[in-house]
Amino acid sequence: MPDGPTGEGVNIRFDKLGVVIAAIAAYAAFLAPFATFRANRIVPGQARSILEALPATAGPLLMAIVIVAALIALFRTPLMLRLAASVVALAALALLVGVAGTFLTPAGNTFARVSPASGFWILVFAFTLLLADVLTRLSLSPRDRVAVLVAAAVAIGLLLVSGAWNDLSILKEYANRADSFWAEGSKHVTLALGSLLAAVVVGLPLGILCHRVQRLRAGVLNVLNIIQTIPSIALFGLLIAPLGWVATHVPGAAALGIRGIGTAPAFVALFLYSLLPVVANTVVGLAGVPRAANDAARGMGMTDRQRLFGVEFPLAFPVILTGIRIVLVQNIGLATIAALIGGGGFGVFVFQGVGQTAMDLVLLGAVPTVALAFAAAIILDAVIEMTATKRRVETA
Amino acid sequence: MKAWLPLLLRLALVVLLVAFVTSPGWFEPLLKPLTENNAPVIYNQGSLLTLTLLHLRIVLIATVAATIVAVALAILVTRPAGAEFLPLSRSLVNIGQTFPPVAVLALAVPAVGFGEKPTLIALFLYGLLPIFENALTGLTTLPANVVEAARGAGMTGWQRLTKVELPLSAPIILGGIRLSVVISLATATIGSTVAAKTLGEVIIAGLLSNNLAFILQGGLIVAALAVLIYDGLSAIERYAARRMGREAE
């Protein structure tokens, strides 16, 4: 039986997920607005459909691409064809939304704002769903997953550098704040990574201690659990006073950059939130080391220290890494809240945007945050899978 | 003596919490040293009790909606008809968890405006993931012999689901709900940055006016609620697990 989309008559077979994707895409392409035009950055926008938002040839072209890709998704088609359809559709959407920006902005008008509207985002969602489904079904190796991520990042980077998106409002917001964007970005990354590093330096020994000393375990884990229940904005705020006191009363602390408001309380709060996953996963990882491995190591005459670093730690490593993955993704998200106490980070744009009801400014802060968290999750998942399979091969 | 100590501690916490939200004035002397320049000690732009109830209401609505949708989805993808969606739904859950709550909240504003709605959406989406994940774990790790026995006894698919599979997975699903509620309680405070009426309002008022007493009372009420609800749900979970003869996580 032919497997193609044109299988004769009764042999046509639908793909269940494809039905959902095609329905979403049809709604987005025909009923939802593709782009929003606003005379300036905060007035309500006017919706534009695909055909209205694009030049005479590009509009029908995008329509055709969307329809063909949706049909490929709808029927049971070979995986590679589905992969090609999703990539082509996403690339066309990415390129043409920039074209819409240029087309809709009156020449020389610097106040007008064009932003992608719900139809664009829903189409991106639909074809990302298709792409995610194909990638899941291909069950890529960890290395290939990272390669796909790098390829996507390079493609987006090229689009940004080429200026294809320069007429979109989010990049106009960026152009007005290019310097502070990178400054806040590096603060965001420093906060997320620095507090993770501190949590690993403190949490690993603490976890090992909890594993060795039974009595300590319940107490430490309970305290860390309770810290997690304190809402982040409150914890950030509560640290202002003690750190302010340290800054004024401990000689040299202020010189180190410790202050009541700003980066220091944010750093400490993220550090406190990070401790639980690191300590708990270290304890769970060490507890999961097979007794036989420990007995064999003891039988070989290994000292406690040798056993810890030579046997227990390597075997527990994938579980500990899972804890680190949780912390990193969580920290990248939580670092946005630091902006509320003057700690900087991408949250600055999010909260400024919410305050000014300028959604493009919100996006300028939210999109890089989501991208960072997403990339961190994919990379660390790949690393975890690689170390876990390596151990399995070695111990087998 | 040791057995009733935790219970006594919890009771004391409940009494303290109720006393604080109903008559915060009693605690004024305790919090007084935290304020400067005669600033108000107890939040004065709304009653703490109302805010606490509104906070709980938002979390309750979001969690109930998230539970219904997440469990329904998990049931769907574990039936033969929906099996095609299982791998994809797993990756979607993984991707979804990387979205920071602040971003979800801020991005929901253009769609629905300020106030309670974006908070409800963010809490709902964020609450879906742990429940869905746990429901999936529960439904896919059922003891094979029990499911086989149910089939052998001539139960229909619907009967197996409602009489065997769901009750057996209940403890694990409850574990997901517990996680989701605790996350939601904390995330709801962030909702006040987009003008939702929650306890976050108290904390943010404290941040803006540099009033430590406000930050502390808002934060402590939320933390106490979270600890108590976490404890209560854990107890229900253990009860369900004992009844089903399954170990709770």
The whole-angstrom distance between A57's CA and the closest CA on chain B is 31
pLDDT at B83: 83
Nearest to B219 among A230, A336, A337 (CB): A230
Interface contacts (A, B; CB < 8 Å) = 142
Q: CATH 1.10.3720.10: does it fit domain A178-395?
A: yes
**Between chains, do B85 and A17 touch, taking CB under 8 Å as contact?**
yes
pLDDT at residue number B54:
93
Structure token pair of residue B38: 């005669």
Q: Which long-range contacts (CB under 8 A, 24 or more apart) does A26-32 make?
A: A26/A70, A27/A122, A28/A118, A28/A119, A28/A120, A28/A122, A28/A123, A28/A126, A29/A63, A29/A66, A29/A67, A29/A70, A29/A119, A29/A123, A31/A119, A32/A117, A32/A118, A32/A119, A32/A122
Position A8 scores a pLDDT of 47
Predicted pLDDT at A393: 59
CA atoms within 13 A on the CB side of A227: 19
Would you call A132 and B91 a contact, using CB atoms and an 8 Å cutoff?
A: yes
In chain A, which residues have their Cβ closer than 8 Å to the Cβ of B111? Answer: 118
- For the stretch A260-314, pLDDT in tens is 667 888 898 899 989 989 999 999 888 888 888 888 888 888 888 888 888 888 8
Question: Out of A234, A336, A376, whose CB is closest to B218?
Answer: A234
Biggest CA–CA distance in chain B, Å, is 76
The shortest C-alpha distance from B108 to chain A (Å) reads 10
> In 3-state terms, what secondary structure has residue A118?
helix
Q: Shortest Cα distance from B4 to chain A (angstroms)?
A: 18
Measure the CA–CA gap between B227 and B8, rounded to whole angstroms: 14
Q: What is the pLDDT of residue A288?
A: 84
Q: Output the pLDDT for position A140.
A: 87
Give CA–CA dist B170/B148, Å, rounded: 19
* Pick among A229, A232, A336, A352 to test the B interface (most B CBs inside 10 A): A229
Give the per-residue pLDDT at A394. 59
Nearest to B100 among A228, A241, A332 (CB): A332
When CB atoms are compared, the residue of B82, B98, B111 closest to A373 is: B98
Averages of pLDDT over runs of 10 residues in chain A (396 residues) are 46 84 93 88 82 88 94 91 94 91 83 87 92 88 91 93 87 88 94 94 92 86 83 80 74 66 84 90 88 86 84 87 90 89 88 83 90 91 84 58
Mean of all residue pLDDT scores within chain B? 85
Residue A348's pLDDT is what?
A: 92
* Domains of chain B and CATH, by start: 48-244 (1.10.3720.10)
> Is residue B239 pLDDT above 70, yes or no?
yes
Q: What is the pTM of this model?
A: 0.84
Residue B246's pLDDT is: 56
Mention every residue, 6+ apart, whose C-beta is less than 8 A from residue A71.
A5, A22
The full set of domain ranges for chain A reads 9-175, 178-395
Closest CA to A222 of A178, A261, A276, A291: A276
Search chain A and give the residue with CA nearest B203.
A234
Strand order across the A113-116 sheet: A46-48, A35-38, A113-116
B136-185 residue pLDDT tens: 988 988 888 888 888 888 888 888 888 888 988 988 999 899 988 988 88
Q: Do B204 and A233 touch (CB under 8 A)?
A: yes
Instruction: Give the nearest partner residue to A374 out of B95, B200, B219, using CB atoms.
Output: B95
| Secondary structure, 3-state, B72-104 | HHHHHHHCHHHHHHHHHHHHHHHHHCCCCHHHH
Q: Which residues of A touch B227 (CB under 8 A)?
A: 226, 229
Backbone angles phi, psi at A81, to 5 degrees: -65, -40
Residue B219: list chain A partners with CB under 8 A: 230-231, 233-235, 237-238
Among the listed residues A349, A27, A30, the one whose alpha carbon sits nearest the alpha carbon of residue A184 = A349
- Count of H-run helices and E-run strands, chain A: 17, 3
Q: Residue A223: its pLDDT value, please? A: 86
CB atoms within 10 A of CB B151: 13
Does residue B242 carry a pLDDT above 70? Answer: yes
Cβ neighbors of A349 (< 8 A, separation 6 or more) are: A173, A177, A181, A184, A361, A362, A364, A365
Residues of B in contact with A231 (CB under 8 A): 185-186, 189-190, 199-200, 203, 218-219, 222-223
Q: Which of B36, B98, B222, B234 to mutate to test the interface with A (most CBs of A within 10 A)?
A: B98
- Provide, as residue numbers in chain B, all residues whose Cβ is less than 8 Å from the Cβ of A273: none
| Out of A229, A235, A359, closest to residue B110 by CB | A359
Measured in angstroms, the CA of B194 and the nearest CA of chain A are apart by: 7
Chain A residues close to B96, C-beta within 8 Å: none
ipTM entry: 0.78
Name chain A contacts of B199, Cβ cutoff 8 Å.
231
Nearest residue of chain B to residue A329 (CA atoms): B98
- Measured in angstroms, the CA of A303 and the nearest CA of chain B are apart by 34
Residues of B whose CB is below 8 A from A240 = 212, 215
Assess whether pLDDT exceeds 50 at residue B231. yes
Q: Residue A103's CB: how many other CB atoms inside 10 A?
A: 18
Taking contacts as CB-CB distances below 8 angstroms, the residues of chain A near B226 are 229
User: pLDDT (tens digit, 9 = 90+) per residue, B185-223?
Assistant: 888 998 888 888 899 899 888 888 878 888 888 888 998
Q: Which chain B residue's Cα is nearest to A331? A: B100
Question: Which pLDDT score is estimated for A257?
Answer: 63
